[in-house]
Structures are given as structure tokens and as C-alpha cells.
Amino acid sequence: MAKFPEPEKEINDVLICMRCKARNSKTAKACRKCGAIYLRKKRKQAKAK
Ligand SMILES: [Zn+2]
């Protein structure tokens, strides 16, 4: 059961702000929310603890 019907390709094409964790498009040069330039790619596989 998928609670979040997000297409995987969309998840892979996203950048995560390292400051506020906001999602930005992969073409973004700065966070659209807080303006930080520290963006990282979101990994498909989450590290299981
Ligand atoms: Zn941000």
C-alpha cells in the first residue's frame, strides 16, 4: 500500500536542502524555501537502522 503516490523518477530527480530539508527540483541552484545553496541528491535507498 503506497501512502505517498510519488513517482520514483520524480524522487530521484530531486535535490534536498541540507539546511531546511526542503525538496527542490534537480535544476535548482539554491533552495527555493530558505535560499541555501547546499543541496544534495536524494538517495533512493534509505539507510535502514
Ligand atoms: Zn532550504
Q: Give the residue extent of every domain in the chain.
A: 11-41
**How far does residue 2's CA lie from ligand 1's centre (Å)?**
27
Confidence class of residue 5 from pLDDT cuts 50, 70 and 90?
A: confident
How many Å lie between the centroid of ligand 1 and the Cα of residue 28?
Answer: 11
For 10-45, the pLDDT digits (tens) are 556 899 999 999 999 999 999 999 999 999 987 766
How much is the pLDDT for 37?
A: 96
Task: Write phi, then psi, for 15 (nearest 5 degrees).
Answer: -115, 140
Phi, psi of 23 (to 5 degrees): -90, 135
Report the candidate in 11, 28, 31, 10 with the shortest Cα–Cα distance to residue 20.
Answer: 31
Taking the centre of ligand 1 as the mean of its atom positions, its distance from the CA of residue 9, in whole angstroms, is 22
In the reported structure, the alpha carbon of residue 43 is separated from the centroid of ligand 1 by a whole-number distance in angstroms of 17
For residue 42, how far is its CA from the centre of ligand 1 (angstroms)? 14
